[in-house]
């Protein structure tokens, strides 16, 4: 079962309707190892012959983000799909500054860090966002 298929199932479960534009965006997100900007998304959709309204693409991306299926990287502004890792879903990415490629990473160590930060700052921590930038294997 591919990521896009799982995403479709998740959305259906939550009462969302599965439309052409939504399928297309999910599919493109799945195929884009470096993520995509909204503009690229529109271009690629056009290449395929599908041309949903730019406004719809906006709304779809927003909806996917709210549902934890997509994430916009702060560093580059590109959208990436998120692994469907249930509740331990979190925002950890490594991003290549040369080719833009990015990977979702798993780092349990962040929890210790979180606890330490909570203690030191007096904040009750609820969420976090972590992005590493550098060069991927191919670009070094």
The neighbour count for residue 62, using CB atoms within 10 Å, is 12
Residue listed under structure tokens 């606890």: 115
Contact of residue 123 among DNA, a second copy, none (CB under 5-8 Å per partner type): a second copy
Question: Taking the complex as a whole, how short is the minimal distance between the CB of residue 44 and a second copy, in angstroms?
Answer: 25
Question: Taking the complex as a whole, how short is the minimal distance between the CB of residue 140 and a second copy, in angstroms?
Answer: 5
Compute CA distances 9 → 4, 13, 62, 135, whole Å: 9, 6, 18, 35
* Interaction between residue 85 and a second copy (CB under 8 A): no
* Interaction between residue 116 and a second copy (CB under 8 A): yes
Tell me which long-range contacts 41-50 makes (C-beta under 8 A, separation of at least 24).
Answer: 41/79, 48/24, 50/20, 50/21, 50/24
> Which C-beta is closer to DNA: that of 33 or that of 39?
39
Q: Which of residues 19-78 bind a second copy (CB under 8 A)?
A: 74-75
* Interaction between residue 113 and a second copy (CB under 8 A): yes
User: How far apart are alpha carbons 1 and 104 in whole angstroms?
Assistant: 19
| Binding footprint of a second copy on the chain (CB under 8 A) | 74-75, 94, 96-97, 103, 105, 107, 109-110, 112-114, 116-118, 120-137, 140
């Amino acid at each position: 079962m591919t990521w896009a298929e799982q995403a479709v199932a998740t959305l259906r479960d939550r009462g969302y309707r599965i439309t052409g534009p939504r399928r297309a965006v999910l599919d493109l997100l799945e195929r884009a190892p470096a993520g995509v900007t909204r503009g690229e998304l529109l271009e690629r959709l056009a290449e395929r012959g599908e041309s949903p309204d730019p406004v719809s693409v906006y709304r779809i991306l927003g909806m996917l983000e709210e549902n934890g299926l997509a994430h916009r990287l702060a560093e580059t502004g590109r959208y990436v799909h998120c692994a469907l890792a249930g509740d331990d879903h979190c925002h950890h990415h490594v991003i290549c500054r040369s080719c833009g490629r990015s990977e979702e990473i798993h780092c349990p160590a962040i929890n210790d860090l979180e606890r330490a930060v909570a203690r030191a700052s007096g904040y009750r921590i609820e969420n976090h966002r972590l992005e590493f930038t550098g060069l991927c294997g191919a670009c070094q």
